[in-house]
Amino acid sequence: MNIGAMAAASGVSAKMIRHYEKIGLVGASARSTAGYRQYGERDVHALRFIRRARDLGFSLEQIGQLLSLWQDTRRSSAEVKRLAEAHLADLDERIRNLTAMRDTLVTLARDCCGDERPDCPILDGLASTPVHPDGPKREPSR
């Protein structure tokens, strides 16, 4: 199949298919005598795998590792689980940081009257909260 059919079958855009080939995430496609990319069912499965992994938030590097493990019939499931658990830990940390950001914004918005006065707790909070390199600072609730 050509790249358009491949994109439709895999749910991955033609642009992303070319990108994945360029960075080596998927192997270079076979070419017709006219130079057009040609794909098979195996390629569709690999791109669907990549798409699903991207939907779950895995990085391209992690997806490369997962693809290698998926294609290796002698793999250890422990390696796959280690990658998944590391990704889960990263997601949990990101969720904690997003929750802290949300909590801070809820507090700032709640404390702002939103009227015609110039004083604004939101702007005051943005101006006074120090930036922490390890994530957002959780503001105490009032």
Predicted TM-score of the model (pTM): 0.74
Q: 1-75: what fold?
A: Multidrug-efflux Transporter Regulator; Chain: A; Domain 2 (1.10.1660)
Query: Looking at beta carbons, which pairs linking 130-135 to residues 24 or more positions away fall under 8 Å?
Result: 135/93, 135/96, 135/97, 135/100
Q: What is the pLDDT of residues 19-52, one digit of tens each?
A: 999 999 988 878 888 888 888 899 999 999 999 9
Q: What is the pLDDT of residues 75-109, one digit of tens each?
A: 999 999 999 999 999 999 999 999 999 999 999 99
φ, ψ (nearest 5 deg) of residue 129: -80, 120
Which of these, 58, 137, 54, lies nearest to 99 by C-alpha position?
137
Domain ranges of the chain: 1-75, 76-142
Which of these, 28, 83, 38, 24, lies nearest to 57 by C-alpha position?
83
CA angle 84, 95, 139 (to 5 degrees): 155
pLDDT at 98: 97
